[in-house]
Amino acid sequence: EGAIEQVTAVAQAAVARMMAQVEEKESELRNLQSQVRRVREEAMAQHAKDMAEIESLNELLFAKTSASIGNLKEALAHGAAPQDPRKSAEQDKAAGQQSVQDLLAMLSEREKEVVEASNRAEADRKRYELQQVRLESQLATKEEEVAKLTRQLESEKTRGPSQVMESLISKLKAQLLQKDKRLGQLKEAIKALEARLIDAMKAAATEDMTLSQNKSVEAQAAQAEALERHVTELKAKLAKAKEEVVKAKTQASASAGAADRAKADCEKATREGK
């Protein structure tokens, strides 16, 4: 029974260990899934932020451009009339050229800011994409590990304990056969002892009759005592042989019960593992 309990405990420990490994992998899987969701949310938030910045820069550029064009038109339309028309034309031309240059410089600066913002947005997008690809690859690996461990666990539940128990039950059956053989030998020995005892008792009776006819009372008593001792020894051997038979039967019954309990423990361990 101790061996059966030990084998059952080992099988149950193996199942428990694999269940713990599955739980650990599932926890890692849930953690990776959470990271993937977080990266996606961060990427979407960063994209929205970058687009808002680009839109704001475009609006600012449009507003500045419109204001500069308006100022240029106003300056050309409401400029003070100079006394010298030629000088006035030169001043208007110079002012117009300066305003155009200022406008172009401002446009260039704003376009540069828009390009930089777009580049940052693209870099953020690529970074988040790479991070997401890496996490999804890890996620796929963990999913495969969980699936593999789950298959191993199911195999351990359905086959592992049964195989060990079947081996143990086979050994117990072999022991039962040996004990049955020994029991048969003991029965034959008992029959032989009983036959010898009967023969001895017959011989003793015959010898008693002979002694009673040919010997003195003292000799008869001594011979009877010797025969009684011999009969007592034979009875003791017979009793011992019968005890061995009873013991062998008890051991055989215990072994059969142990085999049944081993099978029941195996089935119970399988059900509890599931």
Predicted confidence at residue 81, as pLDDT, reads 44
Predicted confidence at residue 255, as pLDDT, reads 64
Element (H, E) at 159: none
Tokens 């001043």 sit at which residue?
Answer: 91
Q: What is the pTM of this model?
A: 0.40
Q: Read off the pLDDT band of 114 (50, 70, 90).
A: confident
Q: Read off the pLDDT band of 5 (50, 70, 90).
A: low
Q: Read off the pLDDT band of 82 (50, 70, 90).
A: very low
Element (H, E) at 108: helix 85-158
d(CA 54, CA 121): 9
Which range scores top for mean pLDDT: 33-37, 162-166, 198-202?
33-37
Give yes or no for a contact between 186 and 248, defined as CB atoms under 8 angstroms apart.
yes
Distances in Å between the Cα of 263 and the Cα atoms of 10, 266, 270 are: 15, 5, 11
- Whether the predicted pLDDT of 144 surpasses 80: yes
Domain 2-158 in CATH 1.10.3470:
no
> Which range (88-92, 138-142, 164-168) has the least confidence?
88-92
For residue range 225-238, what is the model confidence (pLDDT) as tens digits? 776 777 777 777 77
Q: First vs last Cα of the chain: how many Å apart?
A: 24
CA-based nearest residue to 181, from 125, 248, 128, 117 = 248
Domain boundaries, the chain: 2-158, 162-273
d(CA 25, CA 29): 6
- Whether the predicted pLDDT of 273 surpasses 70: no
Higher-confidence residue of 21 and 79: namely: 21
